[in-house]
Every structure is written in C-alpha cells, then in structure tokens.
Homo-oligomer: A and B are copies of this chain.
Amino acid sequence: MEIKIVKKVLAAHEKLADEIRELLARKGVYAFNLIGAPGAGKTLLLESTFDAAAADIRPGVVEGDIATTADAERLQRFGVPIVQINTGPFGGDCHLAPNLIRAALDELPLDDVDAVFIENVGNLVCPAEFYVGENEKVVVLSVTEGEDKPLKYPLAFREAAAAVITKIDLLPHLDVDEAALRENVAAVNPKLAVFALSARTGEGLAAWVDYVKSKVAGG
C-alpha cells in the first residue's frame, strides 16, 4: 500500500515534468536549472550572464527560495520577467518540484523569452533528485566550499550537464587547490562542461556566456 502511494506521487511529478519539457520545446525555450549550496553564487552568476548576454538572449527567470524575494529583487534591474517561488508555505521545501515550476511558467511570457533560468533553492543535495522539465542542470560550486565537494555530493555533479566553479578571485586567500577540485569534478562526471570564473572580476566569464548562448541558439 505504501509503495503504491509513493509511486503515484512520483509518477504525477514525472508526467508534469514531461509536460513542462514539451511546453518549453513548443515555445522554443531552453531551460537551465541552476543548483548549488547557499551562497555558491547562483544569483550573481545570473546577473553577470545577463549583463554579458543582454543583446543575444531573451531570458526569463524562476527564482526559488524558502523565504524572501531578495534574489528576484537583485535581478529586477534587467527588466526581464521574473517569477519568485517561496517554498515556505509548502512546508519549507528544500527543492523546486514540477508543480511549482508549472505554476511559475504560467506567469512567464514564454513567447517573449528564449531561455528560462530556474534558480533552485540553495541546496547541493535535494534539487539534484528532481527533474522539473529543464533541458539541463547546471551545478554551481564556490571555491570556498573546498575541493572535496564533488566527491561528497556526487549526485548533483552526475545529474548536471555543466559545472560552474565560482569565486576564483578568492583562490589566493584559500587553502583550496583548483586543480584538485577539477580532478574531483571529472572523477564524478567526466562528461561535464566545466567553467571556472569570478563574477566579480569577470575572469573566465566569457566561456560560460558563450556556452549559454550556444545552448539557447540550438535549443
């Protein structure tokens, strides 16, 4: 009996995620699902990406947080459509589920955007377990988190198509070895497209932005 109930919920989620994928494909929209720990730099990565790619992509944003609209407010200056999901009223959920994404997409003008950036709840664990209809997951990891994180949280790195290593401007002040971090990323998922950048200095940003543009153009 228990198993039946769990299966029903999971099946409903998967069906909804498939419908989201079909909706996005029909609208010609490419969806990135950004996952990473609190403070990994997901919002700043979006800000830098929008600054650099303003002429080339028409983004829409789904912001996921347990509480506050702080991240959505940071992105308002770009004048792009943003929907904030607060999971607080839904039990403080640690991830975005397809039903929330579906509701958020209803609020986005999908005919006027060609890329949707879903910024998931800050959590390197749970969001990796949920497919919400995105074209790809992007795992965001700050160098300040240490080089061992891909080994300790492997699912996020296995599920993602790209990894963005952030805050590399802090490397001179840390006891963190970037080469070892990259080795650990590759050990968990050798197929990952890996970018290392500092949104603050701009170092390494161009390669990531080119990647985004190519995905949006082909999607």
Question: Can you give 10 A-B contacts (C-beta < 8 A)?
Answer: A1-B5, A2-B5, A37-B37, A38-B152, A38-B153, A39-B144, A66-B153, A68-B151, A92-B129, A142-B144
Residues of A18-43 whose CB lies within 8 A of B: 37-39
Closest residue on chain B to residue A9 by CB atoms: B2
Q: Name the B residues within 8 Å of A148 (CB-CB).
A: 68, 70
Q: Name the B residues within 8 Å of A151 (CB-CB).
A: 67-68, 70
Interface size on A, residues (CB 8 A): 38
Distance of A36 from chain B, by nearest CB (Å):
9
Q: Name the B residues within 8 Å of A7 (CB-CB).
A: none
Within the oligomer, what is the number of copies of this chain? 2
Asked if residues B66 and A125 are in contact (CB atoms below 8 Å), the reply is yes
Asked if residues B67 and A122 are in contact (CB atoms below 8 Å), the reply is no
Asked if residues B125 and A92 are in contact (CB atoms below 8 Å), the reply is yes
Residues of A118-158 whose CB lies within 8 A of B: 121-126, 129, 142, 144-146, 148-149, 151-155
Q: Name the B residues within 8 Å of A70 (CB-CB).
A: 148, 151-152
Instruction: Contacts A68-B148, A92-B129, A122-B124 known; list 17 others, CB within 8 Å.
Output: A1-B1, A1-B5, A37-B38, A37-B145, A38-B153, A39-B146, A66-B152, A66-B153, A66-B154, A68-B151, A94-B94, A122-B125, A122-B153, A142-B144, A144-B170, A173-B173, A175-B200
Asked if residues A125 and B68 are in contact (CB atoms below 8 Å), the reply is no
Distance of A34 from chain B, by nearest CB (Å):
15
Asked if residues B124 and A38 are in contact (CB atoms below 8 Å), the reply is yes
Given contacts A1-B1, A151-B70, A154-B66, contact A145 B39 (CB under 8 A): yes
